[in-house]
Structure 1
Amino acid sequence: MNRRAVVTGVGVVAPGGVGRDAYWELLSSGRTATRTISLFDASAFRSQVAAECDFDPLTAGITRREARRMDRAAQFAVVAAREAVEDSGIDLDAADPGRIGVSIGSAVGCTTGLEEEYSVLSDGGRDWLVDHTYGVPHLYGYMVPSTLAVEVAWQVGAEGPVALVSTGCTSGLDAIGHGVQLIEEGTADVVLAGATDAPLSPITSACFDAIKATTPGREDPEHASRPFDGRRDGFVLGEGSAVLVIEEAEAARRRGATGYAEILGFAGRSNAFHMTGLKPDGREMAEAIRVALDRARLDPQDIDYVNAHGSGTKQNDRHETAAFKRSLGHRAYEIPVSSIKSMIGHSLGAIGSLEIAACALALRHQVVPPTANLTVPDPECDLDYVPRTARAHPMERVLSVGSGFGGFQSAMVLGRPRTGREAAA
């Protein structure tokens, strides 16, 4: 049997609004959710801009006990997972729990909780020897990244394979790719797949300040994230989560589920070159795209939209543009390309899942989200980057890519769900 994976539910916690509908409204309107950091005092940092989630755990359905136990990133993932399950209409109580899997990505794990607890235990960094008795009861869980996947598994009663994927900024894409593999190989029939990160903390800001990767952007925070724009000067940190319900396509069809998208192909590569550097020719990303297309049995002319990594650094934007030209040929100049990081910032490991959620919603609504703030194009980035305004556009298949520190390059192809007759062809 040819097992195929379809997305039947989408759940989102993102800057600009909690929930799938608020997320799509932000993206399709071209509004930005970047602003001056309010979650902590950032006055001492070079970059003081971020895309924060206006998230209250109690309002979002997290109990006080759960809020005490779970790091902010875990709270995001649980809320997104609950929305995805409700959206899918699936009755997980009636499913075999051993056939339900979870695949969650994260780049920095429970950073927020760890930093807060270190500050308490060390009395604001004063004491070198800390007193662990001042820590919260679940401090150990903050130190184990797999806690994030476990929290989602508990929520949905998953007793099948549960995994935490941490591959830097491609974690979200890679976690969904792993979930798809579980469906295709027959290990699971339903997978909750996505990613979460809440990296907005002093330690994260200090790390990116040190390598000058983030934008200063103090004068105009709302327009600080400018992928492919000639005036860009670094990316904007963000936070958030997206979780998808992925099902075996035939089982979803039998229960009458209306899918958002079928995941047709996925591939990952590494440049084995530099921890943060990228080769300008984009060869490794191009190879990931080529293999993803091969697995989907598609050619470049079959792609109708590209959701770019588009971080807003000169190195990445030019590398990515070269990769599109190398892998898609002349078709690269004809396909609309955009970066939603212009609106919701770069949430590290979570962003890949948020971008796949955006692709699924774009396929459903037949609208390409714009690249906000793109007013002065970089001459070296000469593709159709859909500046500032969303575009109605017929789409059957879309490509989403990711690029991460360590040399990770990932690509995923999604298509509108096929009918039974089309799938059999």
Structure 2
Amino acid sequence: MAGSADERTVVVTGIGVVAPGGFGREAFWERITSGRTATRRITFFDPEGFRCQVAAECDFDPRAAGLTPQEIRRMDRAAQLAVVASREALADAGSPELRPERTAVSVGNAVGCTMGLEREYTVVSDGGRKWVVDHEYAVPELYDYFAPSSLGREVAWDCAAEGPVAVVSSGCTSGIDALGYAVGLLEEGAADVVVAGATDAPLSPITVACFDAIKATSTLNDRPEEACRPFDADRKGLVLGEGSAMFVLETLASARRRGARVYCSIPGYATRANGFHMTGLKPDGREMAEAIRIALDRAKISPDRVDYVNAHGSGTKQNDRHETAAVKRALGPRAHEVPMSSIKSMVGHSLGAIGAIEAAACALAIDRNVVPPTANLHTKDPECDLDYVPLTAREHRTDVALSVGSGFGGFQSAVLFAGVA
């Protein structure tokens, strides 16, 4: 019976991260446990004139990261981040022997190849001056930038995966949902190994303009390092970011057969939608609470066993209060005892990628028994009355971590991570 349970238990054996503030898994962990933010004035383009002029950018050199000139030319930045993160995850997993037909890929993404698509539109339209664009100026890869499926394909090509390959796009919950899909593939026996995670590189004028239009982003342009303040009474909105986190997932039985290091298992996942509003959230947090409840039920884990909650924590008043209500509704009295923090305060909101980046934080919190803080939290919003781990990381035994996500369109997702004896 124990053997059959091991065949059903999905575990993380490799983690790769490209995030603002440092390159690689260890630099990411050092950043989020130091409480130092990676937000700065936008350097990818001149942000003068935009409402929000700050973001969390990755100091990412694709050549230094091991990509060839042809790969750099072919791939949008989002694909580059995913491929590099996948390579780190596979190396971290001990370079498992992959059977192509039994290897799957699941990549979460919200806004596709935004940077490549906008750059090439600028070229073919001569800076927007020509209504009828001249396709002869376009690069051959322009169609790949148009089709988000190219992101999954690039990861699959790089690791020679010939099993199921999918791009999961559900807004800001894409990273969580891509992991949920990957877990399902392993549980149903459709693959032996899944390279799964998410990527987004949205920092372009069109993205910043979109968020300016809905006034969701922070206006603290003169203090970029303080611009994102989840749960703080003086918050001004979210800060955009970019990045990728990818994982090697396999069954516990598979990991034990090859003597692999196991970070944690993924015992429960669920997603719901509120069917309410594109950006609005009901104050009671019912749909997020329902996703948490179902994830706990699937994992057969009671609320009082949750040791850490990785918050969506975007830094908007609406989200912070909605999420606080959801966690209290789902966890009951345990909600006031468990530490809950937002790493977006340090690495920004990378849209579809952030759920996977936060999953990496959860896996490492379990592995190292430290929970990262919420930076810039000096004066707690009176309506946000939980323990948000202000300013400083905390040593804390973590056997079960819960990560939640909330996305435009009403998406609400939850995923659980648990230590493995």
Taking structure 1 as the reference length, the TM-score comes to 0.97
Q: How many residues were matched structurally? A: 416
Partner of residue 260, structure 1: 263
Which SS does the other structure have where 2:249 is aligned?
Answer: strand
Check if 1:307 corresponds to 2:310: yes
Check if 1:127 corresponds to 2:130: yes
Q: Which amino acid aligns with 1:51?
A: A
Hey, what's the Cα distance between the residues in 1 that align with 2:35 and 2:122? Answer: 38
Check if 1:15 corresponds to 2:39: no
Partner of residue 32, structure 1: 37
Partner of residue 57, structure 2: 52
Query: Aligned Cα RMSD in Å?
Result: 0.6
Q: Which amino acid aligns with 1:132?
A: H
Check if 1:105 corresponds to 2:87: no
In the TM superposition, what whole-angstrom CA distance separates every residue of 1:250-274 from its partner, at most 9, and x where no partner exists?
0111100111110010000000000
Aligned runs of 1:8-407 on 2, under 5 Å?
Answer: 8-92=13-97, 95-407=98-410
Hey, what's the Cα distance between the residues in 1 that align with 2:163 and 2:246? Answer: 17
Hey, what's the Cα distance between the residues in 2 that align with 1:44 and 1:201? Answer: 14
Which consecutive residues of structure 1, in runs of 5 or more, have no partner in the other structure? 419-425
In the TM superposition, what whole-angstrom CA distance separates every residue of 1:292-321 from its partner, at most 9, and x where no partner exists?
000010111010000000000000000000
Hey, what's the Cα distance between the residues in 1 that align with 2:70 and 2:24? Answer: 22
Which SS does the other structure have where 2:190 is aligned?
Answer: coil
Hey, what's the Cα distance between the residues in 2 that align with 1:180 and 1:368? Answer: 24
Which SS does the other structure have where 1:194 is aligned?
Answer: strand
Q: Which amino acid aligns with 1:276?
A: T
In the TM superposition, what whole-angstrom CA distance separates every residue of 1:158-198 from its partner, at most 9, and x where no partner exists?
00000000000000000011001101111011000000000
In the TM superposition, what whole-angstrom CA distance separates every residue of 1:50-108 from its partner, at most 9, and x where no partner exists?
0000011101111110000000000000000000000000333xx32111000000000
4+ aligned runs moved over 4 Å, structure 1? none
Hey, what's the Cα distance between the residues in 1 that align with 2:365 and 2:341? Answer: 12
Hey, what's the Cα distance between the residues in 1 that align with 2:9 and 2:216? Answer: 39
Hey, what's the Cα distance between the residues in 1 that align with 2:146 and 2:216? Answer: 26
Q: Which amino acid aligns with 1:56?
A: D
Hey, what's the Cα distance between the residues in 1 that align with 2:108 and 2:185? Answer: 15
Q: Which amino acid aligns with 2:61?
A: D
Which SS does the other structure have where 1:216 is aligned?
Answer: coil
Q: Which amino acid aligns with 2:306?
A: I
Hey, what's the Cα distance between the residues in 2 that align with 1:178 and 1:229? Answer: 34
In the TM superposition, what whole-angstrom CA distance separates every residue of 1:131-168 from its partner, at most 9, and x where no partner exists?
11101111111111010000000011100000000000
Which SS does the other structure have where 1:168 is aligned?
Answer: coil
What's the CA shift for 1:4?
A: 1.2
Hey, what's the Cα distance between the residues in 2 that align with 1:169 and 1:227? Answer: 16
Taking structure 2 as the reference length, the TM-score comes to 0.98
Q: Work out the percentage of aligned pairs sharing the same amino acid.
A: 68
Deviates more, 1:1-10 or 1:295-304: 1-10
Q: Which amino acid aligns with 2:273?
A: S
Hey, what's the Cα distance between the residues in 1 that align with 2:82 and 2:127? Answer: 29
Structure 1 residues 48 and 191: alpha-carbon distance in aligned structure 2, compared to 1, 3 A threshold:
same
Which consecutive residues of structure 2, in runs of 5 or more, have no partner in the other structure? none
